[in-house]
């Protein structure tokens, strides 16, 4: 099997799905000639042509709206928002239009499409290239939200998202685009189901529920805690809506303790929803309060390296948080 | 046109009687709407309608009873099963793309539908309509820009009644009007009197010919009158000049249409009366049937959120 980093895995998924199904098309600012600012669509336009890999005007609302129009006519568009921060300029189209098409037409219309966007920080992207606004989308019934953390998951879940009958917001942690390389299967063997989390580290003392770039940070924290005799079980949610609550509950029944680690601002972040649901469902199994380990409530990640560092969660901060839960 | 007017009048009575929660009237727009749709091909073309397109929806094939089911928010409302306010028309088999209640998002969506139709190459087009208020939205620019770049087969049809609720055109649209904006996109922009059925028909027919032959989009501005308040929750007498309202009421396009038809010898006073009687009976039947129809089952609240639910 070929070794791939995350952005290559995304490109492979697009390539395979475009080859498999000629209804699949890609659109967005810079996705054609340039192959995307992160190279996620590199080479696709020369392979599939300028109409199936379409450079759009720099206008996120119409990128989302055109994708919707194509979908309503039977195509399977994959729209790229250059940064998820920019997707807010298309928020009305995503939330009020795309997400509600099936519901508001009582099932007469549907709108299968994928909106891909790089998310998260730690790359000196500053306030408008570093945000983690996944909670905005997770709040919307009608959308599915995926946020993978490995090349294998990115490929398998993007292929599934393209085939899904409902609209999917597919968020790619940009800090991981060129981090880990992994052997990634080709074709149908790569497919992964939406909505299934994965236990990525076994442990008996505390459950750490996380996703995206925080998975790697949590893994480093867990390795340190292991030296202190604290064994952390890490669950990578992979899909945020619908999320795999049952897998989390099973783990909590074993550990009796849980922390949710997420890169977004603490208040109202998706991890807050996870914490609330697990507190409600697992109250009798818990030996410690459900804890959130998240980024501070400042508007976004500053440009200065010292301020960026101060904002970001790191293995120290996560280890401290997990230790508090383990020793409560 | 008569059917739309008669149904609308009945809906107002039912609203004031407390039986219908909310209505948006097409009064004053009917001639322009029916003329535009008549120039197109329901069943072949796509239609992104907006909330004032009650007469256009009838012209696209919705029946009086279906629109009354929607007004009563009944389970059998074909657009949304009682989920949306009446005015958000949708029917896949008729090519009417389900609408929503924010202003303007259908404009770039129509550009996307137009792109798909261009790719399919079957000569179908997408018609999208909106009021002049919607032209203030960024989506208006984004939609026209995209459709013009890709020469999408789209007809942008602005029904300019000069009032967006209480905000007059002078505070809404800079410059001489909407049609002139087409020049910025390098596409034809045409202004037409919305009470001139044959004028609107000719302009939309030409736009359709261009669209079907690969010549791209057209922006049409039909000047119409808003003879009723924005909605049943609004009273335009509070912010519009009484003399102006009276003058506009005297220019109601439906009697003018009748006069034109009689002049041309295509209608007689007798056949006009007969038509009105027939429409009246139809409205009675539609109202009775819709009022008696069942509400949506509360258990259906969670249906159609996703494909599997």
Structure confidence by residue, pLDDT tens digits, A253-288: 999 999 999 999 999 999 999 999 999 999 999 999
What is the residue-averaged pLDDT of chain A? 98
Residue of A nearest to B91 (CA): A108
- Interface contact A93-B113, CB threshold 8 A: no
Residue of B nearest to A165 (CA): B307
Question: pLDDT digit string (tens) for B271-297?
Answer: 999 999 999 999 999 999 999 999 999
B115 contact residues in A (CB cutoff 8 A) = 66, 69-70
From residue A163, alpha-carbon distances to A21, A77, B209, B304 in Å are 10, 11, 37, 18
Q: Is the pLDDT of residue A137 over 90?
A: yes
Residue A283: burial class (beta carbons within 10 Å; 0-12, 13-18, 19+): exposed
- CB of B39 within 8 A of CB of B208? yes
On the question of a cis peptide bond just before residue A242, with omega within 30 degrees of 0, the verdict is yes
Residue of B nearest to A241 (CA): B306
d(CA B31, CA B53): 11
Minimum distance, in Å, between the CA of residue B113 and any CA atom of chain A = 4
B239 is catalytic: yes
Q: Closest Cα to residue B55, out of B298, B253, B213, B240?
A: B253
How confident is the model over B130-144, as a mean pLDDT? 98
pLDDT band at B160 (very low <50, low <70, confident <90, very high): very high
Q: Is the pLDDT of residue B188 over 90?
A: yes
pLDDT band at A297 (very low <50, low <70, confident <90, very high): very high
d(CA A259, CA A278): 10
- Interface contact B143-A96, CB threshold 8 A: no
Phi, psi for B95 (deg, rounded to 5): 75, 15
Question: pLDDT digit string (tens) for B35-90?
Answer: 999 999 999 999 999 999 999 999 999 999 999 999 999 999 999 999 999 999 99
pLDDT band at B309 (very low <50, low <70, confident <90, very high): confident
How confident is the model over A75-86, as a mean pLDDT? 98
- Interface contact B108-A142, CB threshold 8 A: no
d(CA B187, CA B191): 13
Q: Where do the H-state alpha helices sit in B17-159?
A: 30-38, 54-59, 64-71, 106-120, 138-149
pLDDT band at B152 (very low <50, low <70, confident <90, very high): very high
- Interface contact B112-A109, CB threshold 8 A: no
Its pTM stands at: 0.97
> Given B113, B138, B149, which is nearest A61 (Cβ)?
B138
Q: What percent of chain A has pLDDT over 70?
A: 100
What is the structure's pLDDT at A122? Answer: 93
How confident is the model over A212-237, as a mean pLDDT? 98
- Interface contact A57-B142, CB threshold 8 A: yes
Question: pLDDT digit string (tens) for B67-78?
Answer: 999 999 999 999
How confident is the model over A158-187, as a mean pLDDT? 97
A–B: how many Cβ contacts below 8 A?
128
Minimum distance, in Å, between the CA of residue B214 and any CA atom of chain A = 16
pLDDT band at A1 (very low <50, low <70, confident <90, very high): confident
């Amino acid at each position: 099997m070929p070794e791939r980093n995350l952005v290559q895995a995304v490109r492979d998924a697009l390539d395979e799905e475009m080859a498999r199904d000629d209804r699949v098309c890609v659109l967005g600012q810079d996705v054609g000639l340039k192959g995307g600012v992160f190279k996620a669509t590199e080479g696709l336009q020369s392979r599939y042509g300028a109409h199936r890999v379409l450079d759009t005007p720099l206008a996120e609302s119409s990128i989302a709206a055109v994708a919707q129009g194509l979908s309503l006519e039977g195509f399977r568009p994959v729209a790229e928002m250059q940064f998820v921060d920019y997707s807010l300029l298309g928020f009305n189209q995503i939330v009020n239009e795309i997400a509600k098409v099936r519901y508001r037409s009582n099932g007469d219309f549907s709108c299968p499409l994928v909106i891909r966007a790089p998310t998260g920080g730690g790359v000196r992207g500053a306030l408008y290239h570093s945000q983690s606004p996944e909670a905005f989308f997770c709040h919307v019934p009608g959308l599915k939200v995926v946020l993978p953390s490995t090349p294998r998951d990115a490929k398998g879940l993007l292929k599934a998202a393209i085939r899904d009958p409902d609209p999917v917001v597919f968020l790619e942690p940009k800090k991981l685009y060129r981090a880990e390389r992994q052997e990634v299967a080709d074709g149908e063997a790569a497919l992964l189901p939406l909505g299934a989390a994965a236990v990525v580290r076994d442990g008996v003392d505390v459950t750490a529920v996380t996703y995206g770039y925080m998975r790697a940070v949590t893994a480093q924290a867990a390795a340190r805690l292991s030296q202190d005799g604290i064994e952390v079980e890490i669950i990578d949610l992979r899909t945020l809506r619908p999320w795999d609550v049952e897998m989390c509950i099973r783990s909590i029944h074993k550990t009796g303790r849980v922390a949710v680690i997420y890169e977004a601002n603490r208040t109202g972040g998706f991890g807050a929803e996870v914490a609330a649901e697990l507190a409600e469902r697992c109250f009798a199994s818990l030996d410690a309060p459900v804890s959130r380990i998240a980024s501070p409530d400042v508007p976004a990640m500053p440009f200065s390296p010292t301020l960026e560092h101060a904002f970001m969660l790191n293995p120290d901060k996560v280890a401290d948080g997990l230790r508090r839960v383990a020793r409560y | 046109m008569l059917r739309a007017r008669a149904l609308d009048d009945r809906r107002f009575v039912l609203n004031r009687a407390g039986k219908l929660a909310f209505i948006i009237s097409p009064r004053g727009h009917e001639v322009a709407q029916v003329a535009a749709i008549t120039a197109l091909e329901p069943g072949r073309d796509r239609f992104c309608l907006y909330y004032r397109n009650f007469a256009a929806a009838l012209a696209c094939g919705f029946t009086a009873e279906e629109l009354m089911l929607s007004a009563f928010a009944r389970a059998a409302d074909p657009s949304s099963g009682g989920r949306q306010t009446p005015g958000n028309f949708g029917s896949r088999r008729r090519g009417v793309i389900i609408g929503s209640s924010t202003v303007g998002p259908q404009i770039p969506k129509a550009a996307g539908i137009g792109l798909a139709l261009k790719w399919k190459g079957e000569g179908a087009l997408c018609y999208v309509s909106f009021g002049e208020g919607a032209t203030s939205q960024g989506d208006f620019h984004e939609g026209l820009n995209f459709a013009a770049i890709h020469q999408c087969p789209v007809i942008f049809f602005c029904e300019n009644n000069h009032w967006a609720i209480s905000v007059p055109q002078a505070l809404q649209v800079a410059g001489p009007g909407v049609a002139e904006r087409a020049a910025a996109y390098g596409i034809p922009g045409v202004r037409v009197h919305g009470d001139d059925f044959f004028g609107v028909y000719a302009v939309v027919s030409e736009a359709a010919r261009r669209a079907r032959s690969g010549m791209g989009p057209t922006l049409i501005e039909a000047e119409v009158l808003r003879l009723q308040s924005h909605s049943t929750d609004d009273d335009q007498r509070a912010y519009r000049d009484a003399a102006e309202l009276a003058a506009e009421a005297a220019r109601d396009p439906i009697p003018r249409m009748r006069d034109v038809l009689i002049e041309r010898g295509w209608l007689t006073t007798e056949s006009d009366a007969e038509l009105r009687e027939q429409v009246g009976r139809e409205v009675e039947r539609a109202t009775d049937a819709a009022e008696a129809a069942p509400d949506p089952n509360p258990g259906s609240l969670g249906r159609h959120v996703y494909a599997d639910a």
